[in-house]
């Protein structure tokens, strides 16, 4: 998604546009029951619309990319020679080999806390509990899943190490395991079999296995990306699928090369991940561009009229020309949300079902 720019559709009109739209209609018209037929044109308006009660929604649309979500990098923690790598696109699950060093596996486990220390009898903490949950899920028993690494845990670890063909030490080195939230899909390889493994060296990049949509928003648009918010996704063939904001995180994009050898400033973006309600509809698309529609604001059960029905009043504010039979009068209204060519209106003299004037 690096370098992508967000494109928003305009859905609301500025006050200046509204004034311009109403110009020539009410330059000197007052409100409070003024008779339009007498004060302005001497006739009813050329067109009319109806005051409608509805839910008014203001939306903003941004470009997105269909893929597998954010990419993570697995870096070597052990010294040796890389002896095995998965194929690009392969899926690795809990307990599976992510890659090999000196012909021994580096194993994928599930969790959010990175491995950061040797686990052995006497160790206590959240990382112990996370590892023991994985050990139990892989079918090893004889210990209590808690935050204490006991002798019983070490015995179960020896069984696990035997299954993997590792030295049966009962200790777990942090370089032997990689934690991810769930199964992973291999996105790309940054090393080759036979390369020397050094701590900190990038070995491979991976993503989740679910088809997702990723969108980059400007920081100012962060309120659009509330976790759990409903969005719409338009696919390349024009079909639509419902989606939900799964996550939003701040990312810093490094600046590209600038003029005269200077680097452009880094940009801060909001990377939004969207899950879809029906993943089957995404079949056949890979790294495709899509459009994601966010709800910027919503006003349920409000009175609305077309924006063009607003009149700019001489004494300030806005009004509507209410048509009743062969006569009309101008009433003042308070405006609210502008969206999709309509505007929220309220006031003591406006009600659902009223007929209001419109320009030709």
The residue out of 207, 233, 255 marking a domain boundary is 207
Same domain flag for 43 and 129: no
Low-confidence ranges of the chain (pLDDT < 50): 1-42
Same domain, 110 and 169: yes
Token pair in block for residue 139 = 């079918």
Global pTM value = 0.65
CA distance 208 to 187: 9
Angle formed at CA 26 by CA 24 and CA 30, multiple of 5 degrees: 160
**Domain endpoint, select from 207, 227, 255:** 207
- Among residues 207, 223, 256, which one ends one of the domains? 207
> Domain span at residue 127?
76-207
Q: What confidence score (pLDDT) does residue 12 get?
A: 34
The whole-number pLDDT of residue 325 equals 83
Say what the pLDDT of residue 264 is.
64
Same domain for 288 and 303: no
Residue 98 sits in the same domain as residue 185 = yes
pLDDT number for residue 285: 78
- Answer yes or no: do 126 and 166 share one domain: yes
Evaluate whether 328 touches 356 at the Cβ level (below 8 Å). Answer: no
Q: What is the pLDDT of residue 259?
A: 53
DSSP letter string over 217-269? EEGGGGGG--TT-EEEEE-TTS-EEEEEEEEEEEEEEPPPB-GGGPBPPPEEE
Same domain, 193 and 259: no
Place of tokens 């980059």: 216
Residue 243, in any domain of the structure: yes
Whether 8 maps to a domain, the answer reads no
Structural domain includes residue 127:
yes
- Are 85 and 189 contained in the same domain? yes
The per-residue pLDDT for 288 is 85
| pLDDT of res. 266 | 82
To 10 degrees, the CA torsion angle through 40, 43, 48, 53?
60
Residues 202 and 80 reside in one and the same domain:
yes
């Amino acid at each position: 998604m690096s370098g992508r720019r967000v494109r928003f559709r305009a859905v609301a009109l500025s006050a200046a546009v509204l004034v311009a739209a109403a110009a020539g209609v009410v330059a000197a018209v007052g409100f409070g029951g003024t008779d339009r037929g007498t004060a302005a044109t001497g006739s009813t308006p050329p067109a009319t619309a109806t005051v409608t009660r509805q839910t008014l929604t203001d939306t903003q649309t941004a470009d997105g990319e269909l893929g597998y979500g954010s990419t993570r990098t697995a870096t070597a923690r052990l010294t040796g020679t890389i002896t095995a790598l998965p194929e690009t696109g392969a899926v690795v699950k809990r307990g599976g080999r992510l890659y090999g060093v000196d012909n021994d596996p580096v194993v994928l486990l599930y969790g959010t806390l990175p491995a950061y220390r040797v686990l052995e009898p006497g160790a206590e903490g959240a990382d112990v509990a996370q590892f023991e949950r994985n050990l139990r899920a892989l079918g090893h028993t004889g210990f209590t899943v808690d935050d204490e690494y006991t002798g019983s845990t070490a015995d179960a670890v020896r069984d696990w190490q035997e299954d993997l063909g590792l030295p049966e030490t009962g200790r777990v080195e942090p370089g032997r395991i990689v934690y991810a939230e769930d199964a992973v899909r291999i996105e790309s390889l940054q090393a080759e079999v036979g390369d020397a493994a050094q701590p900190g060296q990038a070995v491979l990049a991976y993503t989740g296995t679910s088809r997702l949509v990723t969108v980059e928003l400007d920081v100012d648009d962060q309120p659009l990306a509330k976790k759990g918010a409903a969005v719409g996704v338009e696919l390349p063939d024009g079909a639509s699928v419902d989606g939900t904001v799964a996550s939003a995180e701040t990312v810093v994009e490094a600046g590209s090369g600038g003029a005269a050898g200077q680097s452009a400033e880094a940009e801060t973006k909001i990377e939004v991940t969207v899950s879809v309600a029906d993943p089957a509809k995404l079949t056949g698309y890979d790294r495709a561009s899509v459009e994601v529609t966010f709800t910027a604001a919503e006003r349920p059960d409000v009175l609305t009229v077309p924006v063009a029905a607003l009149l700019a009043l001489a004494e300030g504010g806005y009004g509507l020309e209410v048509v009743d039979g062969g006569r009309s009068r101008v009433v003042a209204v308070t405006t609210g949300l502008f969206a999709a060519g309509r505007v929220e209106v309220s006031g003591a003299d406006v009600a659902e079902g009223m007929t209001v004037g419109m320009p030709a």
